Chain A
Amino acid sequence: MSEPLISTLLETPYIAGLGVEFDHRGDELTGCLPFRDDLVGNPLIPALHGGAVGAFLEIVATGSLIVSQPLDRLPKPIDIAIDYLRPARAADVFARAQVARSGRRVANVRVEAWQGRRGAPVATLHGHFLITPKRSDD
């Protein structure tokens, strides 16, 4: 785990501006994107912006990589694929990630986001991230 790196991540201007919060216990992390009016993409539905939900999933993936192992630097996304399963309503969004595989340079992560019901996900992300694990002899 890299506690300072989690703080660095959350204090990043874009992430702090989005209002992302982490509930972090041991090597487990749940992200929360508290609802705010300026997260709405289409006010007629009203639904959260797909980009805001996608960005949140990416941030939870990054945070989960940081708590899963000691890293020297913030992970960087290589590629991501987001599936939008339901319109994200004007409400808080939560997300949890699973590190499917973590190698010496690249990690493969899956993230699921939900609102009211954990069993009714609003979006999922699958992506590869470039990582720099701390060397064990450090």
Chain B
Amino acid sequence: MTPERQKFLNDLATLLVDGSPHAVALGFKVDDVGEGDAHMRLPYREDLVGDPETGVIHGGAVTALLDHVCGLAAFTGFGGEDTPATLDLRIDYMRPAEPGQDIIAEAVSLRSRGLVSFVRATAHDGNTDEPVAIAQAAFMITNASKAAQDRARKAIREGDAS
């Protein structure tokens, strides 16, 4: 990949995370993004705990991280042109995350063609061989996401013109 292309993907990834209020609220960070793959991180925070007895992060926060990282992989899998919407998301919670550890999620688009993208992801807390959760998801370019994309492009064009 050319450095220009990598910069384009990095800028888009940052936009798609920092531009998403819920991702910001949960503290998501992008570690790496390529053509059809993405690595993100959920830094450990006590206000995300789902079991006060153990200090383990709530499954819902992991669900949101997996949804976002899969969406990012689908987005770059489509070439970074259209933001797809989640069709379905299936998650297996293999074990509780280690309290105090960041949760790292890695997603890869298995196929992104036409309107549909198939993505697989793993979440772990340091060791990829011992996943906390695994996910499989399908994404789709919808009319709503296309319309939003057109509005964004229009806003960018008008911003450039002014």
Contacts and interface: CB of A to CB of B under 8 A. Distances in A.
Interface string B81-95: 001011111111100
Interface in A32-54: 37-45, 47-52, 54
B49 A82 contact: no
B101 interface: no
Interface string B23-38: 1111000000000000
Given A14-B57, A74-B51, A51 B67 contact: yes
Contacts, number: 138
Contacts of A24: none
Contacts of A77: 59, 91, 93
A43 B144 contact: no
Contacts of B51: 12, 74
Interface in B36-74: 46-52, 57-61, 63-68, 71
B5 interface: no
A87 interface: yes
B148 A44 contact: yes
A59 interface: yes
B47 A13 contact: yes
Interface in A4-38: 8, 11-15, 17-18, 37-38
B20 A40 contact: yes
A37 B151 CA distance: 20
Given A13-B48, A54-B89, A77-B59, A44 B20 contact: no
Given A49-B22, A51-B22, A12 B52 contact: yes
B41 to A, nearest CB: 15
A12 B49 contact: yes
A54 B47 contact: no
Contact of A81 (B50, B67, B89, B151): B89
A14 B49 contact: yes
Contact of B46 (A13, A39, A52): A13
B75 to A, nearest CB: 11
7 contacts: A13-B46, A14-B49, A45-B147, A51-B60, A54-B67, A76-B93, A82-B63
Given A41-B20, A41-B68, A51-B26, 15 more contacts: A8-B52, A12-B49, A13-B48, A13-B52, A39-B21, A44-B149, A45-B144, A48-B22, A50-B89, A51-B60, A77-B59, A79-B91, A80-B63, A84-B86, A84-B89
Q: Top 5 A-B pairs ranked by shortest CB distance?
A: A51-B64, A55-B60, A49-B22, A14-B58, A44-B148
